Amino acid sequence: MLMGRVARMYYEHGLTHQEIANLLGVSRVRVTRLLAEARESGMVEIIVHVAESLFADEEQALVERYGIKQAWVAPSVAEASKADRAFAVLGAESLSQIIEKGSVVALGLSTAVALVVSSFPMRPLEASFVPLAGSTGGLAKGANPHQLALELAARTQGSAFHLPAPLLAASTEAALSAYADPGVKEVLVMAEGADVLVAGLGGMEAGQGILLGNLTADQREDLLRRGAVGDMGGRFFDAAGNAVTGPLDDRVVGVTLEALKSIPNRLVVARGATKVTPLKAALAGGLVNMLVTDVDTARALLL
C-alpha cells in the first residue's frame, strides 16, 4: 500500500518529502497528502516523551486557587473535532495517572466522561467500575453509565458492575424501594467506598446535565428557587457546593453528594462557558479535588 510505504520511508528511514517523491515516482504534494492521511487514519501514531504540561501556569493557578490536588488543562480549539480529540487524550492521560491496579472507580455519566473513556488505552489494571447513579429512561442519548463501566473494564481487564435502578424514580416510595433492593444496595456501597470518582457536571441551562432535560418546567423552576447551579450524578448543588434537597432529590437513586466527599480522588471532567458556574461551586465546595478542563474554561475559573 502506497500510504504505508510513504509513512515508513518518512518516519522510519528519515527521507524527505522530495526524496520519497523521487523514489516512488509521485509528486511531492501527493507525498504530503499521504502522510497527513496516515496520521488521520491512525496508521501513524506519534508519542511525545515529554512530561511538561502545555498549560502548567494555569494548572498550578487552579490548584492554588481552589486547593485541589491536581488539574489538567487541554488546548481550546475552534474546530470541534480537534478540540474533542485534545480534551479526550488529556482526560485519558489523567485517568491513567489516578486509576491504580485494583482500584474501585465510581463513574458519573456525562458526554465529557464518555469522550475521555473512548480514548483510554488498553492497560491491565484489573480495576472495578461502578455507576454513581441509576440510568435515565426513554430515548438513549449517548452512552449510559453501565456502558462506560463495561468499556473501561474491557480496557483494563477489570470488572464492571450494574446498578439495576432508574436515575429518577417515579416517587419517593419507589426510590426507597430501589434502595432496599440488595443488588442496588451492594453497588451503591461499592461506589461510596470507591478509591476514585470520575464525573461530569451539568449546568442549569437547557440541554445541560443528565437529568435536567427530563424535568418539567415547574421542577426546573423549583430547583432554581432553591439555589441550584448545577448537578453531579443527578444530585443538584448550590453556589456553595451544598446539596439542594427537596422532593426531586428524594427521588434520585444514587450516591449523595455528602457521601461522595469521602472518596479520596474526585475527578470532574468538564469544559465550556456553561460549566464555569457549576465548576466554581463544585471546586469551592470541595465536591471535587481534581479537574480536567480546557484552557478557556480554566482562565474563566481564575477570573
Among residues 169, 121, 163, the alpha carbon closest in space to that of 144 is found at 163
Between CA 49 and CA 297 the distance in angstroms is 26
Confidence of residue 101 (pLDDT cuts 50, 70, 90): very high
The pLDDT value given to residue 1: 83
Q: Which structural domains are found in the chain, ordered by start?
A: 2-41 (1.10.10.10), 56-301 (3.40.50.1360)
CB atoms within 10 A of CB 221: 11
* C-alpha cell at position 36: 497527513
Residue found under cell 451539568: 202
**CB 202, CB 110: distance < 8 Å:** yes
Between CA 65 and CA 3 the distance in angstroms is 49
The pLDDT value given to residue 143: 60
| DSSP-derived 3-state class of residue 91 | helix
Start-to-end Cα distance in the chain: 52
Confidence of residue 137 (pLDDT cuts 50, 70, 90): low
* C-alpha cell at position 227: 439555589
pLDDT of 204-251, one tens digit each? 987 677 788 788 889 999 999 999 999 999 999 999 999 999 999 999
**CB 118, CB 219: distance < 8 Å:** no
Provide, for the chain, the percentages of residues in helix, strand and coil under a 3-state DSSP scheme, each rounded to the nearest 5. Answer: 45, 15, 40
Q: What is the mean pLDDT of residues 14-38?
A: 92
The pLDDT value given to residue 51: 64
pLDDT of 139-171, one tens digit each? 445 467 788 899 999 999 999 999 999 999 999
pLDDT of 80-100, one tens digit each? 988 998 999 899 999 999 999
**Whole-prediction pTM value?**
0.84
The pLDDT value given to residue 136: 73
The pLDDT value given to residue 140: 46
Confidence of residue 49 (pLDDT cuts 50, 70, 90): low
The pLDDT value given to residue 139: 43
Minimum mean pLDDT range among 50-54, 59-63, 165-169, 243-247: 50-54
